[in-house]
Structure 1
Amino acid sequence: MAMALQTGGGPNVSDAHIINGLPGPLYNCSAKDTYKLKVKPGKTYMLRLINAALNDELFFSVANHSLTVVEVDAVYVKPFTVDTLIIGPGQTTNVLLTAKPFYPGANYYMSAAPYSAARPGTFDNTTVAGILEYEYPDAPAAASFNKALPLHKPALPALNDTNFVGNFTAKLRSLATKQYPAAVPKAVDRRFFFTVGLGTHPCPANTTCQGPTNTTQFAASMNNVSFVLPTRALLHSHFTGLSSGVYSPDFPVSPLTPFNYTGTPPNNTNVASGTKLMVIPYGASVELVMQGTSILGIESHPLHLHGFNFFVVGQGYGNYDPVNDPAKFNLVDPVERNTVGVPAGGWVAIRFLADNPGVWFMHCHLEVHTTWGLRMAWLVLDGSLPHQKLLPPPSDLPKC
């Protein structure tokens, strides 16, 4: 990433994806480094899937097996069964896999491959695989992998299959039961509208860049503000009241200049830079609409909020309609999570209760976009009661 920031281009392409640290049999010379999951016929297994990739949303499938989704981001969902799922960086998904009732005499790839609607620059568009292996009933526990058995491969969606992604995410619903209620805020105290997307910075004087043009370098922003990391900790600066020169509490509540967000992009793609925070009172119910843009191409952005879970009350393609779209919001059983994909060429609406005082980072979980500036921070003020206030830093907090 350091080299990418110097050149203004994209990062180096990774050599491989991995499953549990192993690249698997689909890359050159790595077949011996394959993750194998042994199962017994008729048993049901929970697979805890974590996308720890730096820059890829991933499709995941197990050949000839169904997956029942039961949990995302550590929150139960209404179970539904699929052959393939989509999981973004920073997201988790728990699924149930029921093994075949009899020994099948075959092995099965567990495969993952990237999803990207459109991405400038280069990235790792390769498929990684592990192997689901059935234990033979009479074989010793230490029996080795049988290479002679047929090996089935799953059919993964196309790289840019946005319809699949939209259909999958639409199935995610909270349990919304008495034991596991969906406490989505019905009334809203603060409404915000953030654009989310890419842009450019001019190259430094007398230099040539490797960005979209040789005079620009890649950047990313929310509401046209490309976040600059501060030289002092934001939380400590807020707590001590010494925030001057560290950050400004004036992150824009909406784009300064509205435009056709998913249409023909504007000629000027430059973004501003700054360390700006959005300040909200303790206990405020927040509604945030995040609108993807077409600047430098439409793309899905997995946005992660620190410090809170939120409810995904609505999403769609094209430009958000503040008059008609809110009527379609799901306020009954919306999925609750901490990382959500802003659809490629679309928008997503979330709600959360600001009941955790402090400074909380929000950023795209595509690491390259975060590095380019697609991030911001919320400052939730103290409440009136003792348990609603920030605790002081520990006495042994190291000095910078």
Structure 2
Amino acid sequence: MLRIINAALNNQLFFKIANHTMTVVAIDASYTDPYETDVIVTAPGQTVDVLIKADQPVGSYYMAARPYISVPLPTVIPFDNTTTRGIFAYEGSESNNSVMPTLPDFLDTPTAHKFYTNLTGLAGGPQWVPVPLVVDEHMFVTVGLSTEPCEEINATCPNGQRFSASMNNESFVFPQNASMLEAYYYGRVDGVYTTDFPDNPPIVFDYTNPSLSNVEPLIFAPKSTKVKKLKFNSTVEMVLQNTALQARENHPIHIHGFNFHVLAQGFGNYDAVSDSTKFNLVNPQIRNTIAVPSGGWAVVRFQANNPGVWLVHCHLDVHLPVGLAMAFEVGNGPTPSSTLPPPPSDLPRC
């Protein structure tokens, strides 16, 4: 078994082993139905566990990975197009000439989407959690790039705008003077964050239409520190809708503190009537990071059974500091074990 971890900052990665197939048995430490493939795809922070049979002639074979770039031509941003390699060598192999696998093209979205959508959870297996069927909180959250106004016009701020990112047109800012978790615990959230993160985007538009990238009411996102308040044990369903503003891109969204069921994924604008019929409520994959398709959407569902303040953000490192995040404030449960404990006595202070 190999556990493959994407520790990159800004690249999703294709991974293959020359002349070998792999059987995926877990993703993000949750069991899957066995899925046989010759290529896997991982977003930053995701893990994939695979079983490999050493059934090829004795020899030396390269394991290799290189980026999956989801930004379509002609808007591809610069990226490191190198290939990283390791060696899968059989005992008794005397060859120094390792066989190299044929990796997918950098822009091969169909291969990436096939892998991400063909995975299913191991229903009834160890640690399996059935899909909660009654939803308490419905959210439709746009995810993508935006701009923000700046005071000066210079090389980093042409036309009085700078690069930004947002969720539901709110560009997240980390508090500078206080911990959100401590503010919540002590009931002193005023001036640290507000609890009015919107359940829906402020403007409904053609989210995946790239020609709207210059419409200022759509691309300008105000800076804020907003969270969504949740009752303990409530069930949340989030439609994560990618936008084409600035550029279409596959955004890996990570939810701290929770695993979630991935009910469906697709391209284009999410349609609540037709796309909800595609939900897998029997054996969906369970993850903690979902690669929302470029120019598309994903629907996740989870139970808010972990009290505290939990960040939700893009796992592309370049997007977090410019605002592609929000947070959940989850209330305490009825028992000591479901109540947020106090900060430890030796908590370091700045």
Q: Per the shorter chain, which TM-score range?
A: over 0.9
Displacement of 1:124 in angstroms is: 1.3
Displacement of 1:278 in angstroms is: 0.7
- Identify which of 168, 172, 176 aligns with 1:227: 172
What is the 5 A alignment of 1:298-377? 298-377=248-327
Distance between the aligned counterparts of 2:104 and 2:40, measured in 1?
10
Displacement of 1:206 in angstroms is: 4.3
Does 2:31 align with 1:76? yes
Displacement of 1:351 in angstroms is: 0.4
Displacement of 1:321 in angstroms is: 0.5
Residue type matched to 1:251 in 2? F
- Identify which of 90, 111, 120 aligns with 1:134: 90
Q: Is the 8 A contact 1:192 1:287 kept in 2?
A: yes
Which structure's CA Rg is the greater one? Answer: 1
What is the 5 A alignment of 1:138-217? 146-147=95-96, 149=97, 151-177=98-124, 179-209=126-156, 213=158, 215-217=160-162
1:247-273 Cα distance to aligned partner (Å, 9 max, x none): 111111110011100013242122111
- Identify which of 64, 88, 91 aligns with 2:46: 91
Question: Secondary structure of the residue that 2:320 maps to in structure 1?
Answer: helix
1:41-70 Cα distance to aligned partner (Å, 9 max, x none): xxxxx1110000000000000111111111
Which residue of 2 is the match for residue 244 of structure 1?
A: 190
Displacement of 1:178 in angstroms is: 5.7
Which residue of 2 is the match for residue 5 of structure 1?
A: none
Displacement of 1:202 in angstroms is: 2.6
- Superposition TM-score, scaled by structure 1 size: 0.82
- Identify which of 103, 107, 111 aligns with 2:64: 111
Displacement of 1:101 in angstroms is: 5.4
Superposition CA RMSD, Å = 1.7
1:60-92 Cα distance to aligned partner (Å, 9 max, x none): 001111111111000110011111110110000
Residue type matched to 2:256 in 1? H
Which residue of 2 is the match for residue 3 of structure 1?
A: none
Which residue of 1 is the match for residue 349 of structure 2?
A: 399
Distance between the aligned counterparts of 1:100 and 1:214, measured in 2?
60
Question: Secondary structure of the residue that 1:353 maps to in structure 2?
Answer: strand
Displacement of 1:107 in angstroms is: 2.1
Distance between the aligned counterparts of 1:165 and 1:182, measured in 2?
26
Displacement of 1:386 in angstroms is: 2.7
Displacement of 1:216 in angstroms is: 2.7
Distance between the aligned counterparts of 1:244 and 1:169, measured in 2?
41
Distance between the aligned counterparts of 1:173 and 1:48, measured in 2?
18
Question: Secondary structure of the residue that 2:277 maps to in structure 1?
Answer: helix
Displacement of 1:383 in angstroms is: 2.0
Q: Is the 8 A contact 1:174 1:182 kept in 2?
A: no
Displacement of 1:376 in angstroms is: 1.0
Question: Secondary structure of the residue that 1:236 maps to in structure 2?
Answer: helix
Does 2:247 align with 1:291? no
Displacement of 1:208 in angstroms is: 2.9
Q: Is the 8 A contact 2:31 2:126 kept in 1?
A: no
Distance between the aligned counterparts of 1:101 and 1:237, measured in 2?
58
Question: Secondary structure of the residue that 2:212 maps to in structure 1?
Answer: coil
Shift >6 Å, 4+ stretches: none
Question: Secondary structure of the residue that 2:328 maps to in structure 1?
Answer: strand
Q: Is the 8 A contact 1:287 1:352 kept in 2?
A: yes
Distance between the aligned counterparts of 1:315 and 1:248, measured in 2?
31
Please list every run of 5 or more consecutive structure 1 residues that lacks an aligned counterpart in the other structure.
1-45, 138-144
Displacement of 1:399 in angstroms is: 3.1
Does 2:328 align with 1:378? yes
- Superposition TM-score, scaled by structure 2 size: 0.93
Question: Secondary structure of the residue that 2:318 maps to in structure 1?
Answer: helix
Question: Secondary structure of the residue that 1:368 maps to in structure 2?
Answer: coil
Please list every run of 5 or more consecutive structure 2 residues that lacks an aligned counterpart in the other structure.
none
